[in-house]
Chains A and B, each alone.
Chain A
Amino acid sequence: MKIVVPIKRVVDPYAKVKPLADGTGLDVAGVKFEINPFDEIAMEEAVRIKERDPSTYTVAVSIGGPECEEQLRKALAIGADEAVLIETTDGLDASVIAAELVAFVQEVAPDIVLMGKQSTDDDSNQVGQMMAAMLGWPQATFACKLTPGVGEVTVDRETDSGEESLRMKTPCVVTTDLRMNQPRYIALPGIIKARSKPLAKRGRGTSASPRVRLTHLAALPPRPPGRKVASVDELLTELKSRGLV
């Protein structure tokens, strides 16, 4: 079984980042970057599949500038067999990322593309579905459990009102939700050791151009400051006076 895991470099999801004053971008001075948490879960799951079935081969792939090597090294440390950086400084939107990943996937011919349901910076939740459409493959988004079979997989996925289980033939696209697993902790030495694993760099494989462009970023206007109440009585009086209870 071959699994491709797309890996996005994102600003630390726990950092408080603000837009630059002119709204042209984010002020990321001094902020750490991480693997998109959902992609880390996808990588972890791929490695767990390999641990159960050693014939599994996993490829991590990222699209972006040279700095994405840092996240690919981490993916190798988690256990990816190989990493590929599609290096570009072009403006990218979900459709371009999807087109590039599709071209890559057509070359590598995996059984599963296992990836995050959304990136924590853009919160778009689009790339997996777009890829599946372009490839004509089945998809299972919001996955919380993946059970590989022979020529097929069964995926439990979260829905608006509960869960459902989908069975589909491979090749397919699966996007992960938070509850699929808890990624292992990788200490720095593990990341250094992963330096001996193969990491290839190449240019873009398509000339797809963006269909959506970011024009401005602004901080969310703050909520008016609230206040503390001293007791349940005061809380209820306040809520009643506002007609809320």
Chain B
Amino acid sequence: MKLLCVAFSEAELPVCGGLAASLGAEFDVLLVHGSAGAGYGAAQVMTLGATEAPTADVLAPCVAAAAVGYSHVVAVSSMATKDLMARAAGLVGAAMVTDVVRFEAPNRFVRPILAGSVLATVETLVEPVFLTFRAAGIVPAEAGSAVAVAAAPPLGPELATRVATTVRGGSRPDLAQAKCVVTGGRPLQDAETFERVIGGLADRLGAAVGATRAAVDSGIAPNELQVGQTGKIVAPDLYIAAGVSGSTQHVAGIKDSKAIVAINKDPDAPIFETADLGLVADLFEAIPEIVAKLGPKE
């Protein structure tokens, strides 16, 4: 097994290294953005030095060329890697597996399907294998010493032109990596209320903010905060869902959380079937009370 890890930024390297270590595999990195100080166990890092990540059409030929000689080309699951990896797999004629949660053998992988309600074991029949994997459960690797750097293969021709970009984010932790996530649903009324109530509790806890699709659809929260089957998958130590009914599609994104707390005024809301701790209450009373009783942040 020889891995090539495709990483958009240095922040993805610790889990790439962690995955390779858990598989006992040698690995190199193709780093799209920035430069690598340390390799997290990689033998070599190929860098593109791009200041802005190129579009998938431009990047895929580079990944396809870099893939030669590797049995597996892997990337941490995200919208960006899903966009890129399946295109590169299409160029190479590779087998492709999305959202791997367990590596059973070099050609056997487990992944959730049907909104995470079923675990499918799949077997790949050709090499190389392209895959995206979920970072939850992988012990990140230590930085290690400085790593050999090489230039990445050339980029492909630009077929799509990026004409505008909106990046939101701010100072809160990244949803996919956060240790604590506070999520709000449809009853949060409007963006200002959402930010005050959900954002307020999140900031007190140093948490990331998440939202349901209903909240995103009604313009209460921006789309990149959506958690679930078709949004982000989170795996924090503590997940707090307030005013969230607990649809299968939402729960698909939170199942790897260590502890799930639900605050809902309907005692029969399905979220209570998934929650470790449930509080039947009006969130507009319970959340201010929680914030008050936690006291100011140390």
The closest CB in chain A to the CB of B236 belongs to A244
- Chain B residues near A218 (CB-CB < 8 A): 118-119, 121
Question: Interface with B: A103-111, A189-197, A208-216, which one?
Answer: A208-216
**Within the assembled complex, what's the spacing in Å between the Cα atoms of A227 and B80?**
38
Q: Is B229 interfacial (CB 8 A cutoff)? A: yes
Residues of B within 8 Å of A235, CB to CB, are 261, 277, 279, 290
**A227 lies within 8 A of B86 (CB):** no
A residues in contact with B166, CB < 8 Å: 162-164
Nearest Cβ on chain B to A92's Cβ, whole angstroms: 13
B237, A211: Cβ atoms under 8 Å?
Answer: no
Q: In angstroms, how far is the closest chain A Cβ from the Cβ of B152?
A: 18
> At the interface with chain B, which of A56-64, A66-74, A77-85, A128-136?
A128-136
Is A166's CB within 8 Å of the partner chain B? yes
Contact residues in B for A242 (Cβ distance below 8 Å): 259
* Cβ-neighbour of B83 out of A19, A122, A129, A215 (below 8 A): A129
Once the chains bind, are A130 and B90 in contact (CB under 8 Å)?
Answer: yes
Q: Is B113 an interface residue (CB 8 A)?
A: yes
User: Which of B230, B267, B280 has the most A CB atoms < 10 Å from its CB?
Assistant: B230
Q: Pick the residue among A141, A164, A232 that contacts B281 (CB under 8 A).
A: A232
Neighbouring B residues of A94 by C-beta, 8 Å: 86, 96
* A1 located at the interface, meaning its Cβ lies under 8 Å from any Cβ of chain B in the complex: no
Q: Shortest beta-carbon distance, B158 to chain A, in Å?
A: 9
Task: Knowing A162-B165, A214-B120 are in contact, say whether A120-B229 is a contact too (CB < 8 A).
Answer: yes
Which of B17-25, B40-48, B52-60 participates in binding chain A? B52-60
In the complex, A167→B88 CA distance in Å? 21
**Contacting residues of chain B (88-107) with chain A, CB-CB under 8 angstroms:** 88-91, 93-99
Give chain A nearest CB distance to B280 CB in angstroms: 6
Contact A162 B168 (CB under 8 A): yes
Instruction: Let me know if A211 and B125 touch, CB within 8 A.
Output: yes
Interface set, chain A 130-156, CB cutoff 8 A to B: 130-134, 137-142, 144, 154
Residues of B near A226 (CB, < 8 A) are 260, 272, 274-278
Residues from 126 to 147 in B contacting A, C-beta threshold 8 Å: 126
B96 touches A161 (CB 8 A): no
Residues of B within 8 A of A233 (CB): 293
Interchain CB contact (< 8 A) of A210 among B125, B238, B280: B125
How far is B90's CA from A127's CA once the two chains are assembled, in angstroms? 9
Per a CB cutoff under 8 Å, which of B98, B112, B163, B222 touches A220? B112
Closest-CB distance, A126 to chain B (whole angstroms): 4
**Quick one: which of B86, B165, B238, B267 contacts A129, CB cutoff 8 A?**
B86
Asked if B98 and A214 sit within 8 Å, CB to CB, the answer is no
User: Separation in Å of the B129 CB from the closest CB of chain A?
Assistant: 9
Q: B255 contacts the other chain (Cβ, under 8 Å)?
A: yes
Among B83, B161, B248: residue with most chain A CB under 10 A: B83
Contact B162 A16 (CB under 8 A): no
Q: Verify A123–B113 contact, CB threshold 8 A.
A: yes
Q: Is A185 an interface residue when CB atoms closer than 8 A count as contact?
A: no
Main SS class of interface, A = mixed
Partner of A161, one of B161, B168, B289, B293: B168
Cα(A179)–Cα(B214), bound, Å: 11
Q: Is the CB of A130 within 8 A of B119?
A: no
Pick the residue among A126, A214, A228, A229 that contacts B96 (CB under 8 A). Answer: A126
Among A127, A128, A132, residue most surrounded by chain B Cβ atoms (within 10 Å): A132
Tell me the smallest distance from the CB of B34 to a CB of chain A, in Å: 15
From residue A21, how far is it (CB to closest CB) to chain B in Å?
13
B65 within 8 A of A: no
Bound: A88/B113 CA distance, A: 23
- For the complex, what is the distance from the CA of A127 to the CA of B87, rounded to whole Å? 9
Query: Given A167-B163, A220-B119, are A98 and B90 neighbors across the interface (CB < 8 Å)?
Result: yes
Within the complex, what minimum Cβ distance (angstroms) separates B69 from chain A? 19
Answer yes or no: B213 CB below 8 A from chain A CBs: yes
For A212, give its contact among B82, B90, B125, B281 (CB under 8 Å). Answer: B125
The answer to the question of B71 belonging to the interface, with a C-beta cut-off of 8 Å to chain A, is no
Query: Given the interface contacts A138-B57, A162-B224, A236-B290, does A129 sit within 8 Å of B87 by beta carbon?
Result: yes
Q: How far is the CA of A160 from the CA of B77 in the complex (A)?
A: 11
- Tell me which residues across on chain B come within 8 A of A178, comparing CB atoms: 213, 217, 230
From residue 153 to 172 of chain B, which have CB atoms closer than 8 A to chain A?
A: 159-169
Given the contacts A98-B90, A223-B274, A226-B276, A133 and B60 also touching, CB distance less than 8 Å: yes
Question: Which 3 A-B pairs have CB atoms at the shortest separation, nearest pair first?
Answer: A133-B90, A130-B90, A129-B86
A–B pairs, 6, beta carbons within 8 Å: A18-B118, A95-B96, A133-B90, A179-B216, A212-B95, A227-B277
